[in-house]
């Protein structure tokens, strides 16, 4: 990168944590308000909320929203997706909820996946695709359970379906022909994308420059302090275009280059207004976070800023686990102090604490009392009446 700015602004780990926590809206109890409108506001601010299938406790998309919306209810997300249509599902670094206002930044990816269908979806035949699309056009939205006339095939990997229609629906979804108009657990309802939103066709695709600017804006808004890796998480192909966006903003003095403690040669930048909060004191709020939370999912970044090395051990043999099957990081103030392996016993209506791991500093007697208070609230979220 050309040397556009003078010496970067020194930034300690503590200052970086404050900026990131502020950007993630974890420094106040209800930053987005309440109700379905809060869901749309949270997704718009964060840029995406990851979806995952693991259900040992409440699924991560609900958990991430609950961490920022204390009054959150599952039906609020359903309304945002299916009634208000303010969010939609698509692939970011993983399948995620994304603001509908951002859909045009994904149209180019949809068109690319349609062109590349022969690689990932080579088992989908034109007949399979015509069958599901014709049925949806004629009869309306459907789920895979509504299709009962498939000739079943052998699975090509453990998570695949034996129904050829399932792969056809996935191809049409990733190509932007269909969208997921509703979700119940992991059961998806598919609808024609334009019909779901009341459009005649897809929005115009954003240009490559517009998309790079969008990725940079999204990261600055939700991360505060950014690097190329954090902006382009699992998307290395976007790095050259995003770097050009960074250089342009540095020239316009819209970004500040920072030297983050412990980052060595990895470059970081921040928006000027967020640098102003880096020394602000934080309240001692307690957050029991999902391992897929935006604060945790980029493991190297979490380690750099919080000095916390999260271990996701659900797919490890039991004898190799240190934290437990599904450990949840616990944030108190600006420090991750524990990782709790929790499990919801939905039959008995209890939240089970499998293992308590201390990982941070602090007076553990005081911290335990604070965390146990939050655990009671977390249990009520897991096991509603």
Q: Region 49-53: what's the mean pLDDT?
A: 95
Q: Region 39-48: what's the mean pLDDT?
A: 98
Q: Region 342-370: what's the mean pLDDT?
A: 94
* pLDDT of 277 strictly over 80: no
User: Per-residue confidence at 298, pLDDT binned at 50, 70, 90?
Assistant: very high
The string of DSSP letters for 265-325 reads T--EEEEHHHHTTTT------EEE--TTSTTTSSHHHHHHHH-------TTS-GGG-SS-T
Residues 92-123: tens digit of each pLDDT: 999 999 999 999 999 999 999 999 987 889 88
Q: Which of 343, 340, 349 is nearest to 368 (CA)?
A: 340
Residues 155-213: tens digit of each pLDDT: 665 555 678 899 999 999 999 999 999 999 889 999 999 999 999 999 999 999 999 99
Question: pTM of the entire structure?
Answer: 0.94
Query: pLDDT value at position 161?
Result: 67
Query: pLDDT value at position 38?
Result: 98
Query: pLDDT value at position 13?
Result: 96
Query: pLDDT value at position 3?
Result: 45
Average pLDDT of the chain, as a whole number: 93
Percent of the chain with pLDDT over 70: 95
* pLDDT of 36 strictly over 70: yes
Q: Region 215-230: what's the mean pLDDT?
A: 98
Copy the structure tokens of residue 10. 């020194």
How many angstroms separate the CA atoms of 201 and 176, rounded? 10
Copy the structure tokens of residue 183. 């979700």
CB 172 within 8 A of CB 132: yes
Residues 64-88: tens digit of each pLDDT: 999 999 999 999 999 999 999 999 9
Of 4-8, 50-54, 308-312, give the lowest mean pLDDT range.
4-8
Give the alpha-carbon dihedral of 333, 334, 339, 342, to 10 degrees.
50
Of 7-11, 75-79, 150-154, 361-365, give the lowest mean pLDDT range.
150-154
* pLDDT of 2 strictly over 60: no
Give the alpha-carbon dihedral of 325, 65, 308, 267, to 10 degrees.
130
């Amino acid at each position: 990168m050309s040397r556009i700015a003078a010496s970067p602004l020194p930034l300690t780990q503590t200052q970086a944590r404050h900026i990131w926590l502020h950007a993630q809206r974890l420094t106040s109890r209800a930053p987005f308000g309440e109700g379905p409108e809060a869901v749309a506001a949270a997704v718009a601010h964060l840029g995406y909320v990851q979806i995952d299938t693991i259900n040992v406790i409440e699924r991560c998309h609900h958990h991430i929203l609950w961490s920022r919306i204390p009054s959150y209810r599952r039906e609020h997300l359903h309304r945002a997706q299916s009634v208000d249509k303010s969010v939609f599902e698509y692939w970011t670094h993983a399948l995620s909820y994304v603001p509908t206002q951002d859909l045009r930044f994904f149209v180019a990816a949809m068109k690319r996946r349609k062109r590349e269908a022969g690689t990932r979806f080579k088992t989908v035949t034109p007949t399979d695709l015509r069958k599901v699309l014709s049925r949806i056009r004629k009869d309306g939205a459907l789920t895979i359970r509504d299709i009962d006339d498939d000739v079943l095939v052998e699975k090509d990997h453990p998570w695949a379906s034996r129904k050829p229609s399932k792969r056809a629906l996935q191809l049409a979804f990733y190509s932007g022909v269909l969208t997921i108009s509703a979700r119940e657990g992991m059961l998806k309802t598919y609808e024609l994308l334009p019909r779901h939103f009341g459009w005649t066709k897809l929005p115009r695709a954003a240009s490559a420059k517009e998309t790079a600017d969008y990725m940079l804006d999204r990261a600055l808004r939700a991360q505060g302090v950014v690097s190329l890796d954090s902006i382009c998480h699992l998307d290395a192909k976007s790095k050259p275009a995003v770097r050009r966006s960074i250089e342009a903003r540095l020239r316009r003095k819209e970004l500040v280059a920072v030297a983050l403690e412990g980052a060595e040669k990895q470059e970081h930048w921040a928006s000027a207004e967020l640098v102003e909060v880096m020394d602000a004191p934080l309240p001692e709020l307690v957050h029991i976070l999902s391992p897929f939370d935006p604060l945790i999912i980029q493991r190297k970044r979490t380690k750099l800023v919080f000095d916390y090395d999260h271990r996701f051990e659900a797919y490890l043999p039991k004898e190799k686990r240190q934290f437990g099957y599904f450990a949840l990081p616990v944030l108190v103030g600006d420090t991750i102090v524990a990782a709790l392996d929790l499990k919801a016993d939905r039959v008995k209506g209890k939240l089970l604490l499998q293992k308590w791991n201390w990982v941070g500093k602090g007076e553990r007697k005081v911290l335990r009392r604070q965390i146990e208070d939050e655990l009671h609230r977390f249990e009520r979220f897991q096991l509603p009446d």
